[in-house]
A and B are shown apart, each in its own frame.
Chain A
């Protein structure tokens, strides 16, 4: 850390192996500041949930240290860590009412009955569930159970709250609504949140920073904007948002611009981000919304020929699938303006982009 103080949560060289042979988490280093909302994002089996479980204390790190508030917590059992957690299936106690569920962590801490009641009431208000205190979890809908799980994780005022895909079981509309609600609760309470999900839009909506996991390694750790606009490798470019990939070989490198000869024969310029240098193979990443379809070449843009294969009308934009340089899955999002409606399937046309929007990354076969 630049200012020399300890971060709130620190993973230092953490490794985890279940069978003693394969590492599920390979040498993880991650610092989380107090009050941050950090999301661990990645496909299933990428090690993100394992990291969360190690932080909660349900799994032990095979190697390395985890610190909380500057103190190593490797040898502290889960019930003494004081970390709140929202479980994937909510894990509400079915034999207790909603109020009893919320009171449980307070009673365990030996709080007086009056304080317990007060805090339970406040927590229920926070998630707008005051009227449901006497119900059993089984009498609530999925979204309501989710709120109670959230309230229970926050009621004992932990400084750190972990969330393990808490919205996975909800339908799309409710999920989006809960995303905002969680985000607002985080902003109001100022707690530190570590959130695990495989849903990238969820991560982009809520997080201060996102750690993209793959194969037990953090591929990139950045704020949502940087992550989307400036992916550092092909995995992140593919995983976050939609992405077009063209593969080729670097012919020349000058400053940070690479001249890349595509496999289909064309030559394009790209921003050299993560290449093996001259002669190395590279994957170019271009976002669909940064491309322009134009019958004529446009000055200042890299242009390639392309044929329109499919058009899908989506109201605010038209999704145009093209064949560009041998890749027939090249997607362009054409804004729905009056003059763009002349697109037709089978038309030979041009597609173009700014050099800075085309990022030359590590080679990955698609």
Chain B
């Protein structure tokens, strides 16, 4: 959109001002993340740029923090725990969230809005409150400090994302397809897996991605509900910051940023592919 010739001075000012504001927003969002990446190659155990780094002296850079990450057993246990907890929590979130979204999209379900609000609440209630509540509840029923407990807690946090994304895709879902499928002789199970699921898959996948990242990034709930043997990556980073102040954390952060970008790209490509398969031009 270029500036029309009849624009008033005020419109001209806004035209450029708007671009400056957008630029500033992007800068404040991205700069803190970008700054981490060069710092993670710091040859010193500092969180600041050294003189050698600023002069682009190769001696100022090293991979020692990455080496530390891949060899230190504390970090390796944390990685393993994160990759044990996040997929399980994602699986539960996706399964329950999708079913809930489909159920709640049926007009005849009573108290739909109230149920929806309750299911979404973990996203709205301050995390520390959810975490404290889960701590007390899980202690009572013996899930505190258990692998299962952390997985369930993270699943509860992930479900709102799945419900929201799947509900959004269901809005565009033509209900007469379900009728057509039944009419053609398919039972409810076949109809769900062959007709409905493939069509709402983009929503399910992006909901699942959010659920995975939620679990993968989560530190508050896991501190309450988990014990030392469920120490996840964010937990290790948190204690690392408090106790050791080792720049290894910067290396980990960089790796996580790369993983996140890779995940988002993959999912977006998958989503476009599935839309193309449905014969819809990707938006």
Q: Contact at B279–A85, with CB atoms within 8 Å?
A: no
Instruction: Tell me whether A87 and B182 are in contact in the complex, defined as CB-CB below 8 angstroms, given that A108-B190, A136-B278, A137-B279 are known contacts.
Output: no
Scan B166-204; emit 1 where CB is below 8 A from any A CB, else 0. 000000001011011111111110110011001100000
A57, A89, A138, A156: the one within 8 Å of B184 (CB): A156
Q: Contact at B182–A93, with CB atoms within 8 Å?
A: no
Q: Contact at B279–A105, with CB atoms within 8 Å?
A: no
Q: Contact at A83–B183, with CB atoms within 8 Å?
A: yes
Q: Please give me the residue from chain B that is nearest to A88 by CB atom.
A: B176
Give the CA-CA distance A54 to B272 in the complex, in Å: 39
Within 8 Å CB of B183, what residues of A? 56, 78-79, 81, 83-85
Give the CA-CA distance A152 to B199 in the complex, in Å: 20
Q: Is B280 in contact with chain A by the CB < 8 A criterion?
A: yes
CB distance from B19 to the nearest CB of A (A): 38
Q: Please give me the residue from chain B that is nearest to A164 by CB atom.
A: B176
CB distance from B276 to the nearest CB of A (A): 9
Specify which of A84, A93, A136, A137 lies most central, judged by the most chain B CB atoms within 10 Å of its CB.
A93
Q: Contact at B185–A82, with CB atoms within 8 Å?
A: yes
Within 8 Å CB of A80, what residues of B? 185
Q: How many residues of B contact A (CB 8 A)?
A: 24
Q: Contact at B179–A93, with CB atoms within 8 Å?
A: no
Q: Contact at B186–A108, with CB atoms within 8 Å?
A: yes
Within 8 Å CB of A104, what residues of B? 181, 184, 186, 194
B177, B186, B188, B279: the one within 8 Å of A136 (CB): B279
Q: Contact at A87–B180, with CB atoms within 8 Å?
A: yes
Q: Contact at A91–B180, with CB atoms within 8 Å?
A: yes
Give the CA-CA distance A194 to B191 in the complex, in Å: 25
Within 8 Å CB of A82, what residues of B? 185
Q: Is A336 in contact with chain B by the CB < 8 A criterion?
A: no
Give the CA-CA distance A249 to B208 in the complex, in Å: 74
Q: Is A94 in contact with chain B by the CB < 8 A criterion?
A: yes
Q: How many residues of A contact B (CB 8 A)?
A: 30
Scan A102-125; emit 1 where CB is below 8 A from any B CB, else 0. 001100110000000000000000
B176, B185, B278, B279: the one within 8 Å of A79 (CB): B185
Within 8 Å CB of A137, what residues of B? 279
Q: Contact at B177–A78, with CB atoms within 8 Å?
A: no
Within 8 Å CB of B184, what residues of A? 79, 84, 104-105, 108, 152, 156
Q: Is A77 in contact with chain B by the CB < 8 A criterion?
A: yes
Give the CA-CA distance A247 to B199 in the complex, in Å: 58
Instruction: Tell me whether A85 and B278 are in contact in the complex, defined as CB-CB below 8 angstroms, given that A79-B186, A108-B186, A109-B185 are known contacts.
Output: no
Q: Contact at A91–B176, with CB atoms within 8 Å?
A: yes
Q: Is A58 in contact with chain B by the CB < 8 A criterion?
A: yes
Give the CA-CA distance A83 to B198 in the complex, in Å: 25
CB distance from B169 to the nearest CB of A (A): 13
Q: Is A226 in contact with chain B by the CB < 8 A criterion?
A: no
Give the CA-CA distance A156 to B187 in the complex, in Å: 16
Instruction: Tell me whether A138 and B280 are in contact in the complex, defined as CB-CB below 8 angstroms, given that A91-B180, A95-B199 are known contacts.
Output: yes
Give the CA-CA distance A88 to B175 in the complex, in Å: 12
A77, A89, A94: the one within 8 Å of B182 (CB): A77
For window 310-344 of A, CB contacts with B under 8 Å fall at none
Q: Contact at A78–B279, with CB atoms within 8 Å?
A: no
Give the CA-CA distance A118 to B274 in the complex, in Å: 29
Q: Please give me the residue from chain A that is nearest to B277 by CB atom.
A: A95
Within 8 Å CB of A56, what residues of B? 179, 183
Q: Is A139 in contact with chain B by the CB < 8 A criterion?
A: yes
A88, A94, A139: the one within 8 Å of B199 (CB): A94
Give the CA-CA distance A270 to B195 in the complex, in Å: 59
CB distance from B211 to the nearest CB of A (A): 24
Q: Contact at A94–B180, with CB atoms within 8 Å?
A: no
CB distance from A238 to the nearest CB of B (A): 32
Within 8 Å CB of B274, what residues of A? 95
Within 8 Å CB of A58, what residues of B? 179, 182
Q: Contact at B278–A87, with CB atoms within 8 Å?
A: no
CB distance from B9 to the nearest CB of A (A): 48
B182, B191, B198: the one within 8 Å of A95 (CB): B198
CB distance from B189 to the nearest CB of A (A): 10
Q: Please give me the residue from chain B that is nearest to A140 by CB atom.
A: B279
Q: Please give me the residue from chain A that is nearest to B179 by CB atom.
A: A58
Give the CA-CA distance A124 to B14 in the complex, in Å: 59
Q: Please give me the residue from chain A that is nearest to B176 by CB atom.
A: A91
CB distance from A91 to the nearest CB of B (A): 4
Give the CA-CA distance A82 to B182 in the complex, in Å: 10
Q: Please give me the residue from chain A that is nearest to B188 by CB atom.
A: A79
Give the CA-CA distance A141 to B184 in the complex, in Å: 23
Give the CA-CA distance A136 to B179 in the complex, in Å: 20
CB distance from A194 to the nearest CB of B (A): 13
Specify which of A79, A82, A89, A137 lies most central, judged by the most chain B CB atoms within 10 Å of its CB.
A79
Scan B115-143; emit 1 where CB is below 8 A from any A CB, else 0. 00000000000000000000000000000
For window 265-283 of B, CB contacts with A under 8 Å fall at 274, 277-280
Give the CA-CA distance A88 to B185 in the complex, in Å: 19
Give the CA-CA distance A93 to B277 in the complex, in Å: 11
CB distance from B34 to the nearest CB of A (A): 40
A93, A105, A139: the one within 8 Å of B177 (CB): A93
Report, nearest first, the 9 A-B pairs whose CB atoms are least far apart.
A138-B279, A136-B279, A105-B184, A91-B180, A78-B182, A91-B176, A79-B182, A85-B183, A108-B186
Q: Could you pull out 9 A-B pairs where Cβ atoms are within 8 angstroms?
A: A77-B182, A79-B185, A85-B179, A85-B183, A93-B180, A93-B181, A94-B280, A104-B184, A105-B184
Task: Apart from A78-B183, A85-B179, list 8 A-B contacts with CB within 8 A.
Answer: A78-B179, A82-B185, A91-B174, A94-B278, A95-B278, A105-B186, A138-B278, A139-B279
- List the interface of chain B (C-beta within 8 A of A): 174, 176-177, 179-188, 190-191, 194-195, 198-199, 274, 277-280
- List the interface of chain A (C-beta within 8 A of B): 56-58, 77-85, 87-89, 91-95, 104-105, 108-109, 136-139, 152, 156
